[in-house]
Amino acid sequence: MPVVNLAAKLATFSDHWSPRIVGRFNDNDIMVVKAKGEFVWHAHADTDDFFLVLKGHLTIQLRDGDVRLGPGDLHVVPKGVEHRPVASEEVELLLLEPGGTPNTGDPATAARKREI
């Protein structure tokens, strides 16, 4: 696999909450995404949800409290736990999830993942 420059990949798009696949690790998608505003409350029944902040700040709202992340911070939401990512300003994230996992937990409402 060639070297992947995350900043260069992130510079190729501007839309929010639309993950881009930049590589694969075993059966997992390695993705970057730009986020701003509130995402939907959701849970993933079969997989944990991995967030690594590259730039900016992200709050992951949980029903029992918030998790605040800054550059270099990561958090894993355990499978089945309802959560909602929120970013008051644009944030850039690295996400890891099993291939084909819908970002909303529901294939009917999930953003289509594109490979870049």
pLDDT higher than 90, residue 1: no
The model carries a pTM of: 0.88
pLDDT tens-digit readout, 22-59: 999 999 999 999 999 999 999 988 899 999 999 999 99
Assess if residue 51 is contained within a domain. Answer: yes
pLDDT-wise least confident of 30-34, 62-66, 107-111: 107-111
How much is the average pLDDT of 60-65? 97
**Residue 67: which domain range?**
6-115
Q: What CA–CA distance (Å, rounded) separates 94 from 53?
A: 6
DSSP output for 18-30:
--EEEEEETTEEE
CATH number of domain containing 105: 2.60.120.10
pLDDT reading at 69 higher than 90: yes
Whether residue 52 lies inside any domain: the answer is yes
Give a yes or no: residue 1 inside a domain.
no
The number of folded domains in the chain is: 1
